[in-house]
């Protein structure tokens, strides 16, 4: 990489003699050559002084003019936006969304990249995280090196898949709905989100005013016609009369307890996956992509190959998606334990699986619940932890159960890589890994790793 040069003398920030303030680099501009992609939706470059630049709105191999958005002279790295493309990558396209770009909406990272290029970038990130955090190669984990598109997400050039069934809208001081700018509390008002599903769009949230409201969560179930909005009033704010373009249930977040309360309509939506209907209450977790739940259940069950009569665990079980799939496959002679820390989700799981006598749902943190259950062995384990991952303690607990197979569902490649390293220390190796592009236009992806006992510490 050639040495980047500042665009002008004005880019340099000085400090008055006698002051101890570290000079800010915000606003400085440089012409740089862009290096590899990094985890987080940006690429890497360097300032003339050698500081690392994490640059958004660019692609590897490009020559661009960047403007620093965060950091000072003492920072180990700076953040920046590409404000002018001087030499473009062959993978660059005009961003379909008018709100994608420097200083605008922070929801998407790769609107300016061809869909195939987005998946290649994500594959490079997963490859790098596996090696850097766990010393593992794609061959070590039996991953073919690709990030697979979800069914139906292949759209003509210049179009964007409308995949997102749950959208969190922030509301500005004038009552306009929009999305947050990157790493900011500022709101970018919008009249349409291209990645929002048709069910979300038809509510018309962006087209109406939301006085005294701080946020609107819009949910469009994929397994039913259920539509829901969850309103978060500003402190002391009154709830408006909600009249949207489609029938919708309304919930609100309480100012004092921050709990979700029903205003009118059902306090839940009904989703559909793996031949069941799932109640998801109070805006609880469900995969955002319309195809994700079905795709992930199929991948996990194919990898685990459950057998009649087996004992299985579903950890971080949410409303019971994987627990239900396991229960159907291990049969009346088998048993399934689900563990979930969110009280409402655990209640929904009990409701959803009330017809399965061999399923038990426990409410609490996995690391606390498992020891008190008295379970010392299991045949199968599914864990779908939050973005932070499972961690060494939980991995060690699970390895002690001697399961013949473990399915790890991960929404963060760094957490996945770290935890695969922990599993390897405990004697579990990857039978295979698959990666799915369930968050098109963003830097996120979903991965499934199927693990089985191998040589400990290998």
Angle 404-410-415 (CA atoms, 0-180°, nearest 5)? 100
Pairing mode, if any, of strands 359-363 and 335-340?
A: parallel
Q: Are 43 and 55 in contact (CB under 8 A)?
A: yes
Choosing from 43, 317, 411, 447, the catalytic residue is 411
Q: Are 179 and 106 in contact (CB under 8 A)?
A: yes
Q: Report the alpha-carbon distance of residue 27 to residue 6 in Å, rounded.
A: 12
CA distances from 421 to 139, 145, 209, 360, 413 (A): 15, 18, 49, 30, 12
Environment class of 398 (CB within 10 Å of its CB; exposed 0-12, middle 13-18, buried 19+): buried
Q: Are 407 and 382 in contact (CB under 8 A)?
A: yes
411 is catalytic: yes
| Edge-to-edge strand list for the sheet holding 63-70 | 5-6, 29-33, 63-70, 77-87, 52-56, 42-46, 37-38
Residues forming the active site: 411
């Amino acid at each position: 990489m050639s040495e980047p040069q500042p665009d002008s003398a004005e880019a340099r920030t000085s400090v008055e003699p006698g002051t101890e303030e570290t000079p800010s680099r915000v606003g400085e501009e440089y012409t740089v050559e862009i290096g590899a992609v990094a985890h987080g939706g940006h690429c890497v470059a360097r300032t003339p002084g050698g500081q690392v630049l994490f640059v958004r709105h660019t692609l590897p191999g490009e020559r661009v003019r960047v403007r620093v958005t965060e950091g000072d002279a003492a920072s180990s790295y700076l953040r920046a936006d590409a404000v002018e493309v001087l030499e473009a990558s062959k993978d660059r396209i005009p961003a379909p969304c008018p709100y994608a770009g420097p200083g605008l909406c922070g929801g998407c990272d790769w609107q300016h990249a061809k869909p195939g290029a987005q998946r290649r970038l994500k594959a490079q990130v997963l490859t790098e995280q596996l090696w850097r955090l766990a010393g593992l190669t794609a061959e070590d984990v039996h991953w073919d090196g690709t990030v697979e598109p979800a069914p139906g997400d292949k759209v003509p050039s210049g179009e964007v898949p409308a995949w997102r069934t749950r959208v969190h809208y922030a509301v500005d001081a004038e009552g306009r709905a929009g999305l947050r700018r990157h790493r900011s509390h500022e709101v970018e008002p919008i009249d349409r989100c291209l990645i929002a599903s048709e069910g979300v769009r038809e509510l018309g949230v962006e087209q109406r005013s939301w006085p005294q409201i701080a946020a609107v969560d819009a949910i469009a179930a994929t397994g039913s016609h259920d539509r829901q909005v969850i309103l978060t009033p500003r402190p002391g704010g009154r709830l408006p009369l909600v009249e949207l373009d489609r029938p919708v249930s309304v919930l609100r977040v309480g100012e004092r307890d921050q709990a979700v309360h029903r205003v009118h309509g059902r306090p839940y939506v009904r989703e559909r996956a793996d031949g069941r209907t799932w109640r998801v209450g109070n805006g609880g977790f469900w995969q955002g992509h319309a195809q994700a739940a079905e795709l992930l259940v199929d991948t996990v069950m194919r990898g685990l190959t459950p057998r009649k009569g087996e004992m299985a665990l579903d950890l971080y079980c949410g409303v019971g998606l994987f627990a239900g799939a396991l229960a159907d496959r291990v049969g009346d002679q088998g048993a399934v334990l689900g563990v979930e820390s969110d009280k409402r989700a655990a209640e929904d799981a009990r409701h959803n699986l009330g017809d399965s006598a061999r399923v038990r749902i426990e409410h609490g943190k996995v690391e606390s619940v498992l020891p008190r259950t008295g379970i010392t062995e299991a045949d199968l384990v599914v864990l779908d932890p939050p973005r932070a991952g499972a961690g060494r303690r939980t991995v060690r607990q699970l390895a002690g159960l001697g399961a013949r197979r473990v399915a790890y569902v991960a929404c963060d490649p760094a957490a996945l890589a770290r935890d695969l390293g922990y599993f390897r220390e405990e004697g579990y190796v990857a039978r295979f890994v698959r990666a799915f592009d369930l968050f098109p236009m963003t830097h996120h992806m979903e991965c499934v790793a199927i693990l089985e006992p191998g040589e400990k510490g290998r």
